[in-house]
């Protein structure tokens, strides 16, 4: 595999409904899409970095910079015997920028699948042809509004309903949903770092509400305090932000910081790291599930393929296109039937990207390629603001 050309594009896509979490609100998405070309095949990938540094330190703008200046030069025109070799090459003396690295690394997995004529899920070692679907609900204006939103989600067939919480919108909200929707409703909560160990009282009260898990209650980079909290809770803690590598997953297991991991391939640097975490957790009996970052249909294809691996044993935050967008950028759009999503069996990512639509939505673009290396320092910049 030898990457010849990489095109970065930013598109803007408005969300159907605002998505509020404890660390910020999202009304519309600025999405970084990549087009990769090698040996006569092409693939699209997505960088999941958000607009603001309120999830991790990366943003779409830092990722754009990192890909252009540091990631692309390491992979363009260089031969890799397999996609698994890309991540080590990107990690060597190159700290952080995991979402930027992941976008390119995952694109190379997709290119490899294209080249071999197999599905991305098959290349990754997926064993399922459909995956269970969950929904992540943002913080609502009142407990009653959350109950109605959660009720609708269960009626639509979602297999897991994740409720975003923050101090002031926690116990009362979650208890209302539990009371109204019954003891069997598959509920969990996600705090996105909104609590501290010395103000953990609401979390101890949530412990009585039979949640499947509580996701990332404490600091985004913490493992030690989560271990202390887990000792006080019977509800499993699921880590999201804190798990950035297989080493962090191992530390979580050793310290007892949590009992479940939400794997987002973008957060950990791509598929090689995701598979390493998946395999480590499988060996330890730690369940994992696939998280989401409000991806377009392109990034969703990567999440669905990953979620087809055997130890993804809980429903992922991989809702259908219509949960996010009036119209997605892929066809067919991602859909759900009976709370399940089909893992595409076709070659590559398994969905077609609507190139004309993406062209219309593009607000900036840069094409990088070894063949243009003589001109403009290898960059062909267009509407770069």
Q: Which residues are catalytic?
A: 164, 264
Does 328 bind ligand OSB (CB under 6 A)? Our answer is no
Q: Which is nearer to ligand OSB, 213 or 368 (CB)?
A: 213
Which range, of 195-203, 245-253, 285-293, 361-369, touches ligand OSB by CB under 6 A? 285-293
Q: In this chain, which residue has its C-beta nearest to ligand OSB?
A: 292
Q: Which residues pair with 13 in a beta bridge?
A: 29
Query: Minimum distance between the CB of residue 94 and ligand OSB, rounded to whole angstroms?
Result: 24
Q: Which is nearer to ligand OSB, 42 or 211 (CB)?
A: 211
Tell me whether strands 362-369 and 379-382 are parallel, antiparallel or unpaired.
Answer: antiparallel
Alpha carbons 67 and 365: distance in angstroms, whole number: 13
Distances (CA, A) of 311 to 262, 272, 274, 289, 343: 12, 15, 11, 8, 16
Alpha carbons 215 and 238: distance in angstroms, whole number: 4
**Pseudo-torsion of CA 276, 280, 282, 286, nearest 10°?**
-120
Q: Which is nearer to ligand OSB, 112 or 274 (CB)?
A: 274
Interface residue with ligand OSB, options 22, 29, 55, 226 (CB under 6 A):
55
Q: Which is nearer to Mg ion, 114 or 190 (CB)?
A: 190
Number of residues binding to ligand OSB, judged by CB under 6 A: 11
Which range, of 86-94, 122-130, 221-229, 286-294, touches ligand OSB by CB under 6 A? 286-294
Radius of gyration in angstroms for the set of CA atoms belonging to the chain, rounded to a whole number: 20
Query: Minimum distance between the CB of residue 14 and ligand OSB, rounded to whole angstroms?
Result: 15
Q: Which is nearer to ligand OSB, 105 or 190 (CB)?
A: 190
Find, among 257, 254, 255, the residue nearest to 242 by Cα.
257
Alpha carbons 101 and 267: distance in angstroms, whole number: 10
Does 369 bind ligand OSB (CB under 6 A)? Our answer is no
Q: Which does 257 bind (CB under 5 to 8 A by kind): Mg ion, ligand OSB, none?
A: none
Does 334 bind ligand OSB (CB under 6 A)? Our answer is no
Exposed/middle/buried for residue 202 (C-beta within 10 Å: 0-12, 13-18, 19+):
buried
Q: Interface with Mg ion by CB under 5 A: which residues?
A: 190, 215, 240
- The region, left, alpha or beta by phi > 0 then psi within -120 to 50, assigned to residue 314 is beta
Q: Which residues bind ligand OSB (CB under 6 A)?
A: 55, 136, 190, 192, 240, 291-294, 317, 319
């Amino acid at each position: 595999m030898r990457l010849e050309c990489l095109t970065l594009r930013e598109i803007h896509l408005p969300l159907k409904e605002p998505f509020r979490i404890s660390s910020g609100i999202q009304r519309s998405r600025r999405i970084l899409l990549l087009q990769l070309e090698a040996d006569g095949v092409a693939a699209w990938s997505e960088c999941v970095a958000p607009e603001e540094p309120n999830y991790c330190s990366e943003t779409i703008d830092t990722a754009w910079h990192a890909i252009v200046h540091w990631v692309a030069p390491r992979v363009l025109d260089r031969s890799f015997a397999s996609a698994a070799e890309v991540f080590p090459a990107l990690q060597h003396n190159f700290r952080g920028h995991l979402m930027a690295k992941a976008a390119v690394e995952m694109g190379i997995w997709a290119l490899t699948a294209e080249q071999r004529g197999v599905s991305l899920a098959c290349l990754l070692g997926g064993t399922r042809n459909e995956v269970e679907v969950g929904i992540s609900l943002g913080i609502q204006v009142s407990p009653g509004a959350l109950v109605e939103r959660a009720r609708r989600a269960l009626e639509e067939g979602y297999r897991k309903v994740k409720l975003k919480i923050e101090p002031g919108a926690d116990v009362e909200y979650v208890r209302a949903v539990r009371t109204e929707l019954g003891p069997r409703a598959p509920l969990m909560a996600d705090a996105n770092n909104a609590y501290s160990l010395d103000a953990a009282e609401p979390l101890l009260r949530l412990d009585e509400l039979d949640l499947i898990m509580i996701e990332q209650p404490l600091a985004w980079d913490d493992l030690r305090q989560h271990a202390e909290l887990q000792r006080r809770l019977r509800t499993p803690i699921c880590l999201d932000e804190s798990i950035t590598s297989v080493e962090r997953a191992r530390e979580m297991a050793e310290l007892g910081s949590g009992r479940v991991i939400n794997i987002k391939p973008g957060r950990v640097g791509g598929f090689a790291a995701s598979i390493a975490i998946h395999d480590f957790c499988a060996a330890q009996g730690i369940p994992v599930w696939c998280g989401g970052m409000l991806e377009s249909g392109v990034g969703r294809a990567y999440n669905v393929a990953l979620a087809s691996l055997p130890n993804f044993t809980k429903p992922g935050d991989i809702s259908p296109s219509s949960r996010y967008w009036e119209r997605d950028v892929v066809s067919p759009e991602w859909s759900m039937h009976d709370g399940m999503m089909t893992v595409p069996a076709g070659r590559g990512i398994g969905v077609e990207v609507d190139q004309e639509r993406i062209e219309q939505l593009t607000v900036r673009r840069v094409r990088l390629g070894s063949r243009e290396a003589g001109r403009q320092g290898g960059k062909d910049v267009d509407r770069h603001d």
